[in-house]
A and B are shown apart, each in its own frame.
Chain A
Amino acid sequence: MTTAEAPPANPVGFGRMTRKEDARFVRGKGTYVDDVVLPGMLHGAVLRSNLAHARIVSMDTSAAEAHPKVKAVITGKTLEGLKLAWMPSLSHDVVPVLATDKVRYQGQEVAFVVAEDRYSARDALELIEVDYEPLPPVMDAREALSPGSAVIRDDIEGKADNHIFDWEAGDRSATDQVFERAEVVVTQDMLYPRVHPAPMETCGAVAHMDKVSGKLTIWCTTQAPHAHRTLYALVAGLPEHKIRVISPDIGGGFGNKVGIYPGYVLAVVGSILTGAPVKWTEDRSENLMSTSFARDYHMHGEIASTRDGRITGLRVKVLADHGAFNNTAQPSKFPAGFFHVFTGSYDLEAAHCEVTGVYTNKAPGGVAYACSFRVTEAVYLVERMVDCLADELGMDPAELRLKNLLRPEQFPYMSKTGWEYDSGDYPRALRLAMDIAGYEQLRAEQERRRRAPAPQGAPAPLMGIGVSFFTETVGAGPRKHMDILGLGMADGAEVRVHPTGKAVVRLSVQTQGQGHETTFAQIVAEQLGIPPEDIEVVHGDTDNTPFGLGTYGSRSTPVSGAAVAVAARRVRDKARLIASAMLEVDPDDLEWEKGRWFVRGNPTSARTIQEIALAAHGPLELPEGVEGHLDAQCVYDPPNLTYPYGAYICVVDVDPGTGVVKVRRFVAVDDCGPRINPMIVEGQVHGGLADGLGMALMQVIAFDTDGNCLGGSFMDYLLPTSMECPSWELGETVTPSPHHPLGCKGVGESATVGSPAAVVNAVMDAIGVRHADMPLTPAQVWRAMQGRPLRTDLALA
């Protein structure tokens, strides 16, 4: 007897549906970059600097070259000859592919070996002799601008300090006035330490230059294949139509795979020089030490309010540690990304922020980590400041938030720093989170525990409740304001219905696990009534998809989702004209019902989308001006960003003897507009919550003052496991975006943005300390309880 449940039928449109891509993944049949094998393929390995700051005096590669299995050794000198030693960064700076003059961080690329197999390539690295003259490393961002500091970027003509940029937003004098008048002002310094996205798959590439056709094919761990193609064309002077970037299955991105790393370029150069395909896969230490970090913001916040808790102003000064090269991925106009959304979810009178970027001897990058362009830092700042204010006023933090949240009737809301929030009902989301959590009961329990007499033996755990409310700023972005290296942030999509009524949709964006092959089929299904299993989603291959800037900053659904919806609606409009010819009626007499056009008042007189598709390819005489076939495309230039939001509540128990934090519960209410596939949305939120918990409690890339990276392996860079994560409790509200064709706002990064503050707020609530910097490791919590929290970015003697 079998009792197997019949799987529920897929929705023709939005709704819960298992993922199309899973069939290959659960069988171990995915194709990740390191799974790509080409005939005659060679393997590359990178020699990296062990010093953070040093001049290269000389390099001897002869022994490596003599290794019997080595095919090529590439150094900065080789690249200088090819004019490839430096490449443009994503922020109008330059980045070395291989160091020529100096090394500027530990782990920087110094030489590249191409050999017959992985192990020989690594062996040969040991045979390269580099003579370094050590220079004083600049490891403390707070000292980077001190007059005595070593100058890191002496490659830039005339550069005499480590300053990168000053930038500000908001109204300085209005803000100063608010602060002068304020009844209460609370000031707090806080660090959002350097963290790393650490996707389970490290970065890698397989490059193949076909000498005969002149075509370069690169399989690459990239979240933005089209942008990469254009950059390769610009950097290497290769013709763009002869470059094909394939981003196959990607083992997680989280921003780590947005940029172009030297290893990718070196695989390309290796293939050009040897004539064979070259694979390069970095190891975990290389990934953690050299690829894009996130955050590293030293923030000085001030919040102003009335004595009864009406927040009036916010003022922030930030020192931004960008590492040795300014390579953050931000729209050109915004050197601090979207940090100026730091007024968060509150109605203030005035706000102002200043950000100063500095160079240090650390890895460059600053691409995201599931953070829409520094929104995570902004949300962390404001949500910590609000808790500091609650502490000062002796007010309940949830009550203080409810008092100050934007009200539904204020939308669309123009923030004091120039953002137009699209839609929201914030108090409803917070109240829902409080209901799910049982906020009153939790506070009552906390009160009871605090009053309970101290037990014998081990001290009782300290209970803490943390609240955070976030507004995200995603879906970048309107092309007249936003570009990356001059490429506008609009994305293309194409929808084609085949003669038999099956369809294909081609995307510029790419999945690293978000489930595009399913959700984008559902978007087309919703618009056309074609079942999602009949729709193939093509993505991640520049030869087969339209141009666009890729997947990061939660932009796939807000930008490409809109492009696909619009293209599908164009298909529907065209189908109407064809149906009118088939039914010999005026198009205006036709009405749409999911999957078919029918004659108004006569529903049996109808043509399904499948019948129309066949007719569109057949001998039917088409109406004037209608070309055959059934397809359409769209390049979507978003009119505004989208603003998903949410309310999070975290409950922790802290062991006062050891400082160990246990997250007991975590409630997350998210509003991302309508949910195309609720199962996938929930999965995105779960993952982001674990990310946020990890950053709050465990993860940090710190350095010692000699320049050594202290987070270069998973033994030192701790990621949350199943034991640290609670069973997440989710809730939702739905407030559609008025300007997005589907009302969708994007969700990928929401939980990562919103959750760290909830965890930190909970721990501070438990231990009765106003502030201690992340990560709240047992040592940090214990020290904070003794009134001497650590500085977490540097190991100071």
Chain B
Amino acid sequence: MQVTMTVNGEQVTRDVEPRLLLVHFLRDDLGLTGTHWGCDTSNCGVCAVWMDGEPVKSCTVLAAMASGHEIRTVEGLEREGQLDPVQEGFIQEHGLQCGFCTPGMMMTARYLLDRNPHPTDEEIREAISGQICRCTGYENIVRAVRWAARHAAAGQAREEVSAP
């Protein structure tokens, strides 16, 4: 069957099997390998992307279900060569080690901050509670999101300055 969707702002159309998972569509058909796969049971969240602005576990969505919708992946976080403050925060606060859970964590973090620019630690922990990280013990992920919250204004200001 044919699916058409917008991925990181670009429209794509492909012929796929009806049973193809969105995570495999992104990785294998589009070569967007920043979105990972880590479990068979929708428990780990390393596959998290946005569909129409909401985080979804892309292992639990069929490519067919995403047809006609808007997808944003980790590759779409950076804007015009400028890292999202969340990406910068993960670097500054050592919010990643092996990096496997990181794309999913960052997508959730961006979603949280868009709705709640100054979350408490509890709110950050709650937001990422459907995702597993085996490396960091979560502490530095929380700090990374806090860093991003602190630097959001500066990030936006930078964008304004660099706008023509």
Contact B139 A728 (CB under 8 A): yes
Query: Bound state CA distance, A682 and B139, in angstroms?
Result: 10
A200 and B101 in contact, given A19-B94, A722-B128 (Cβ under 8 angstroms)? yes
A722 and B31 contact, Cβ closer than 8 Å, known pairs A18-B92, A201-B36, A715-B43: no
Q: Given A200-B132, A728-B137, is A252 in contact with B98 using a C-beta cutoff of 8 Å?
A: yes
- Docked Cα-Cα span, A26 to B83, in Å, equals 9
Known: A32-B36, A201-B100, A284-B39. A18 touches B44 (CB 8 A): no
Contact of A29 among B34, B141, B151 (CB under 8 A): B34
Cβ-defined contact, A200 with B134, below 8 A: yes
By size class, the interface of chain A is: 35 or more
Q: How far is the CA of A96 from the CA of B105 in the complex (A)?
A: 39
For B103, the closest partner residue in chain A by CB is A28
- A680 to chain B: closest residue by CB: B94
Is B78 interfacial (CB-CB < 8 Å)?
yes
Q: Are the C-beta atoms of B44 and A714 separated by less than 8 Å? A: yes
Chain A facing B: main interface SS: loop
Chain A residues within 8 Å of B101, by CB: 200
Given known contacts A18-B92, A285-B40, is B102 in contact with A25 (CB within 8 Å)?
Answer: yes
Contacts of A250 in B (CB 8 A): 98
Known contacts: A18-B91, A714-B39, A725-B137. The answer to whether A4 contacts B129 by CB under 8 A is no
In the complex, what residue of chain B is closest to A4 when comparing beta carbons? B154
Are A686 and B140 in contact, with the CB atoms below 8 A?
A: yes
Closest chain-A Cβ to B110's Cβ sits at a distance in Å of 12
| A335 within 8 A of partner (CB) | no
Shortest beta-carbon distance from A552 to chain B in Å: 14
Do B141 and A251 have beta carbons less than 8 Å apart? no
**B17 touches A (CB below 8 Å):** yes
How far is B43's CA from A619's CA once the two chains are assembled, in angstroms? 63
Binary contact readout A17-37 vs B (1 if CB under 8 angstroms, 0 otherwise):
011011111111111101101
State whether B41 touches A284 (Cβ < 8 A). yes
Q: Tell yes or no: B38 within 8 A of A by CB.
A: yes
Chain A nearest CB: distance from B153 CB in Å? 7
Q: Does B68 contact A (CB under 8 A)?
A: no
B46 at the interface (CB under 8 A from A): yes
In the bound complex, residues from chain A placing their C-beta under 8 Å from that of B135 are: 252, 513, 683, 687
Residues in B neighbouring A512, C-beta threshold 8 A:
98
> Is A249 a contact partner of B153 (Cβ separation < 8 A)?
no
B124-164 Cβ-contact flags toward A at 8 Å (1 or 0)? 11101111111111111110000000010111011001000
Query: Provided the pairs A252-B100, A512-B98 are in contact, do residues A722 and B153 lie with their beta carbons within 8 angstroms?
Result: no
| Per-position 1/0 for A745-764, Cβ under 8 A of B | 00000000000000000000
Contact of A27 among B19, B78, B124 (CB under 8 A): B78
CB neighbours (8 Å) of B136 from chain A are 683, 686-687, 690
B94 x A283 contact (CB < 8 A): no
> How far is B91's CA from A219's CA once the two chains are assembled, in angstroms?
27
Least distance between B8 CB and chain A CB atoms (Å): 10
* A82 in contact (CB, < 8 A): no
Whether B158 lies near A26 (C-beta < 8 A) is no
Contacts of A202 in B (CB 8 A): 38
Is B37 touching A22 in the complex (CB atoms < 8 A)? Answer: no
Whether A200 lies near B158 (C-beta < 8 A) is no
B125 and A723 contact, CB distance less than 8 A:
yes
| Binary A-proximity of B85-127 (CB < 8 A = 1, otherwise 0) | 0011011101011111111001000000000000001001110
Contacts of A34 in B (CB 8 A): 27, 33, 37
Q: Which residues of A contact B38 (CB under 8 A)?
A: 200-202, 251, 284
Q: Do B154 and A2 touch (CB < 8 A)?
A: yes
Q: Does B74 make an interface contact (CB < 8 A)? A: yes
Q: Does B32 contact A (CB under 8 A)?
A: yes
In the assembled complex, which residues on chain A have CB atoms less than 8 Å from the CB atom of B125? 722-723
Question: B residues within 8 A CB of A721?
Answer: 128-132, 138
User: Contact: A119 with B17, CB < 8 Å?
Assistant: yes
Which residues in B have their C-beta under 8 angstroms from that of A249? 98-99
Question: Is B73 in the interface zone, CB < 8 Å from A?
Answer: yes
Say whether A138 faces chain B, with CB atoms less than 8 Å apart: no
Q: With an 8 A cutoff between CB atoms, is B24 at the interface? A: yes
Interface residues of A in 1-53 (CB under 8 A from B): 1-5, 7, 18-19, 21-32, 34-35, 37
B41 to chain A, nearest CB (A): 5
Q: Within 8 Å CB of A7, what residues of B?
A: 92
What residues on B are CB-neighbors of A29 within 8 Å?
A: 34
Pairwise interchain contact B96-A200, C-beta atoms closer than 8 A: no
| A32 and B17 within 8 A (CB) | no
A527 to B27, CA, bound (A): 42
B58 at the interface (CB under 8 A from A): no
**Residues 261-311 (chain A) with a chain B CB within 8 angstroms:** 283-285
The one of A31, A118, A722 in contact with B141, judged by C-beta atoms closer than 8 angstroms, is: A722
Collect the chain A residues with CB atoms within 8 Å of residue B141's CB.
722
- Are A3 and B153 also in contact (CB < 8 A) when A725-B138, A728-B137 are? yes
CB pair A27 B75 closer than 8 Å: yes
Residues of B within 8 A of A723 (CB): 125-126, 129
Q: Whole-angstrom distance from the CB of B49 to the nearest CB of chain A?
A: 10
Q: Does A199 contact B (CB under 8 A)?
A: yes
Asked if A683 meets B97 with Cβ closer than 8 Å, knowing A252-B135, A254-B134, A719-B134, the reply is: yes
- Residue from the list B17, B73, B128, B132 in contact with A714, Cβ < 8 A: B132
A515 at the interface (CB under 8 A from B): yes
Residues of chain B contacted by A691 (CB below 8 angstroms): 134, 137
- Return the chain A residue nearest B107 by Cβ: A28
Q: A28: which B residues are within 8 A, CB to CB?
A: 32-35, 73-75, 77, 103
Q: Please name all residues of chain B whose beta carbon is closer than 8 Å to the beta carbon of A18 when the two chains form the complex.
A: 91-92, 94
Choice from B19, B90, B138, B151 contacting A26 with Cβ under 8 Å: B90
Q: Which residue of B lies closest to A35 (CB)?
A: B33
Contact A284 B40 (CB under 8 A): yes
A 416-435 to B, binary, CB cutoff 8 A, 1 in contact else 0: 00000000000000000000
Q: Note all chain A residues with C-beta closer than 8 A to B96.
A: 22, 25-26, 513
Bound: A712/B154 CA distance, A = 46
The reply to whether the CB of A477 lies closer than 8 angstroms to some CB of chain B is no
Task: Write the nearest CB–CB distance from A586 to chain B, whole angstroms.
Answer: 46
> Provided the pairs A27-B74, A200-B134, A714-B39 are in contact, do residues A1 and B157 lie with their beta carbons within 8 angstroms?
yes
Residue A679 at the chain B interface, CB threshold 8 Å: yes
Q: Give the distance in Å from the alpha carbon of A685 to the alpha carbon of B139 in the complex.
A: 11
Interface string of A682-703 (1 = CB under 8 A from B): 1111111111000000000000
Whether, in the assembled complex, A727 has its beta carbon less than 8 Å from a beta carbon of chain B, the answer is yes
Q: Measured between alpha carbons, how far is A254 from B100 in the docked complex, in Å? A: 14
Q: Which residue of A lies closest to B96 (CB)?
A: A25
Contacting residues of chain B (40-66) with chain A, CB-CB under 8 angstroms: 40-41, 43-44, 46
| Complex Cα gap A119–B17 (Å) | 10
Contacts of B44 in A (CB 8 A): 200, 284, 714
Q: A2-B161, A26-B106, A29-B34 are in contact. Are A687 and B134 (CB under 8 A)?
A: yes
* Smallest CB separation, A643 vs chain B (Å): 23
Can you report 7 A-B residue pairs in the complex whose CB atoms are below 8 A from each other?
A23-B91, A513-B99, A686-B136, A687-B136, A690-B134, A721-B138, A722-B125
- Using a CB–CB distance below 8 Å, which chain B residues touch chain A? 17, 19-20, 24, 27-28, 31-41, 43-44, 46, 73-75, 77-78, 83, 87-88, 90-92, 94, 96-103, 106, 121, 124-126, 128-142, 151, 153-155, 157-158, 161
Mark A residues whose CB is within 8 Å of B. Answer: 1-5, 7, 18-19, 21-32, 34-35, 37, 118-119, 197-202, 249-252, 254, 283-285, 512-515, 679-680, 682-691, 713-715, 719, 721-723, 725, 727-728
